[in-house]
Structure 1
Amino acid sequence: MEKIRCGWCEKDDLYRKYHDEEWGKPIFDDETIFEFLVLESFQAGLSWYTILTKRENFRKAFDNFDYKKIAGYSDEKVEELMQNPGIIRNRLKVLATITNAQKFQEIQQEFGSFSNYIWGFVDGKPIDNNPKTLKDVPATTEVSDVLSKDLKKRGLKFMGSTVVYAHMQATGMVNDHVEDCYLRKR
């Protein structure tokens, strides 16, 4: 029997695998949360599919998303990244990634982990929106608005409410699997 999935992921096997194995599963480890922050910030203005197809290139280019290393990137490393055709070569986003790695660590120090900080916005458990169809899935919510504003206040870049909400979906802070999706039923 064919699995019924959220309609957005039926483009190809890469998208289906991402939907089936990652999207919407609660993530509490800081390393993976940071990876998604990087990927989501690069996605701003682009399609998630574009980012997903370049994910392994991003992983190699950004030292396996090691925020401690990224926080100390030099001007030479920025220029190296700007010459890398495997990633999105947007200088503002590359520089934002470095800033975000630095601010990420400041938040870790304040809250014990970035996970403690970010999951505090949803009281430590996923919000279940119970969308019937893709039309019922919002692009932003009050929570993403508040979180976005707080991230920006703390100095993070490319963290608008739409980006933040996509991050919340990706890391399982919200469950937006549609009613008919086999993962909703699980």
Structure 2
Amino acid sequence: MELIRCGWCEKDDLYRKYHDDEWGKPVYGDETIFEFLVLESFQAGLSWYTILNKRENFRNAFDNFNYKKIAKYSESKVEELMQNSGIIRNRLKILATINNAQKFMEVQKEFGSFSKYIWSFVGGKPIVNHPKTLGEVPATTEISDTLAKDLKKRGFKFLGSTVVYAHMQATGMVCDHLVDCHCKN
């Protein structure tokens, strides 16, 4: 019997694996949360599929998403990244990633972990929605608006409400699996 999945992931096995193994599953580790912040910020204006296909290239180019290293990237590292055809070569997004790594660590200092900070916006546990169709899944919510506004106030870049909501879905802060999807909790 074939598994029923959310329709957006049926493009290929890479997409199905991401949907089945990661999307909508709660993530509490700062390292993984940061990885998704980087990937989601690069996704702004592009498709998630494009980013997912380049994920390993991003991982290699950005020191395995080590925010402590990224926070110290020099101009020569930025130039090296701009020459890397395996990633999205957008100078503003690369600079934003360096900036966001620095801001990420500031939030860690203030809250003890970035995870405590970000999960506080949903009361520490996932919001489980019950969409019947993809059309019922929002691009933003009041919570993503509030979180995006707070991130901006803290100096983060390329993390508007749509990107933040996608991040919330990816890290399981929100579960938007369709009601008939085999991953629905």
TM > 0.5? yes
Deviation of the 1:129 alpha carbon? 1.4
Deviation of the 1:131 alpha carbon? 0.7
**Residues of 2 paired with 1:88 and 1:77: CA distance?**
15
**Residues of 1 paired with 2:183 and 2:39: CA distance?**
23
Does residue 115 in structure 1 map to residue 105 in structure 2? no
Q: Please state whether the residue corresponding to 1:5 is helix, strand or coil.
A: coil
Question: Alignment identity in percent?
Answer: 81
Q: Please state whether the residue corresponding to 2:87 is helix, strand or coil.
A: coil
**Residues of 1 paired with 2:107 and 2:130: CA distance?**
31
Q: Which residue of 1 aligns with 2:166?
A: 166
Q: Which residue of 1 aligns with 2:41?
A: 41
Q: Which residue of 2 aligns with 1:8?
A: 8
1:12-61 CA-partner distances (Å, limit 9, x unpaired): 00000000000000000000000000000000000000000000000000
1:75-124 CA-partner distances (Å, limit 9, x unpaired): 00000000000000000000000000000000000000000000000000
TM-score, scaled relative to structure 1: 0.99
Q: For residues 1-186 of structure 1, what are the structure 2 equivalents within 5 Å?
A: 1-184=1-184, 186=185
**Residues of 2 paired with 1:159 and 1:18: CA distance?**
22
**Residues of 2 paired with 1:96 and 1:135: CA distance?**
31
Aligned length: 185
The answer for unaligned runs of 5 or more in structure 1 is none
Q: CA RMSD in A?
A: 0.4
Once superposed, which parts of structure 1, at least 4 consecutive aligned residues long, lie more than 6 Å away?
none
1:110-151 CA-partner distances (Å, limit 9, x unpaired): 000000000000000001111111111000000000000000
**Residues of 1 paired with 2:38 and 2:175: CA distance?**
21
